Amino acid sequence: MMIYKLRQHFGNKCTSVYVNSKFTGFINTPLKQMKFCEAVEQSFKVPLRLSTGNLDCPGAQRSIGFESNKKKLIKEIHEHSNVSPDFISDVLNSIPSVRGITNIDLGLEEHWGNGLKPDLYILYVQPFMITDLMHKLAKSEIIPSIPPYLFLSVCGNIFANCYLNKVVSISFGCPESRKNGGIGKNEIVVGLPFKVAVDLLHFYE
C-alpha cells in the first residue's frame, strides 16, 4: 500500500488526502471544530472527515473554499503577527484557494476504499530528507514548489497548491501550524500529488 511505503521511507507523519471523498465506510467525524493543520496531525493516527461544519480556521476555510472573508483573515493574522495588513493582503493574493469542495477525508488507507486513490499526501519530514527527495525529483525532471509565505502553510501552501497545481509543495510551516498542527522544531511539510508519489517510490525500491 502506498501510504505504508511512504511511511517506511519518510516516517509515520504521513497522511492521505481525499477531496470530495466517495468513501462510504465508517470514518471519524470530529465533534469539535478543528483547524486543518490540527486535523492533519490527528489523521497520522486516526482517519478523519472534514466538512464545513467542523473546520474552524479562517485561513483553512479560505484555502479550502468553504468560506472566504479576506478582511477578517487579514485582521486575525495581523493581530497575531503584527505584520502589515497590506503585506498580508499581497501574500494572500499569491496563495491559492480551492472551490467546490464539500468534504475532505484524511488518513484513509487505500485498501479501505475499494481502490479509491487519494489526491495527494501530506508529510512532515526532517530537513535532511528534503535533499534526497529533491535529488530523486530531479531525476524525473520535477521542480518542487517552495512558497516563501509564512501564512497558511499546511492548508494553503501545501494542500491548495499541491491539489490545484498538481505540484510537489514544500513549506517551512507557519506560526499556527507549528502551534496547532504538530509540526516539530526539526520538521518541514511536504505535499505530494498521488501520481508523483507513485513515480517517486520507484526510486526507493
Model confidence pLDDT, tens digit, residues 60-103: 999 999 887 889 999 999 998 999 999 999 999 999 999 999 99
CA–CA gap between residue 189 and residue 171 (Å, rounded): 5
Report the side by side order of strands in the sheet with 103-106. 48-51, 103-106, 14-19, 120-125, 188-193, 169-171
Which stretch of DSSP H or E encloses residue 19? Answer: strand 14-19
Q: What is the pLDDT of residue 113?
A: 58
**DSSP annotation string for 132-197:** HHHHHHHHTT---B----SSSIIIIIIIIHHHHH---EEE---HHHHHHS---TT-EEEEEEHHHH
* Least confident among 24-33, 43-52, 106-115, 118-127: 106-115
Task: DSSP letter for 2, please.
Answer: H
CA–CA gap between residue 155 and residue 189 (Å, rounded): 11
- Do 161 and 169 contact (CB within 8 A), yes or no? yes
Give 38's strand partners.
none
Q: What is the pLDDT of residue 90?
A: 94
Confidence bin at 115 (pLDDT 50/70/90):
confident
- Do 28 and 48 contact (CB within 8 A), yes or no? yes
Q: Tell me the percentage of the chain whose pLDDT exceeds 90.
A: 78
Number of other residues whose CB lies within 10 A of the CB of residue 131: 9
Task: DSSP letter for 106, please.
Answer: E
pTM score, whole prediction: 0.94
Average pLDDT of 16-34?
Answer: 91
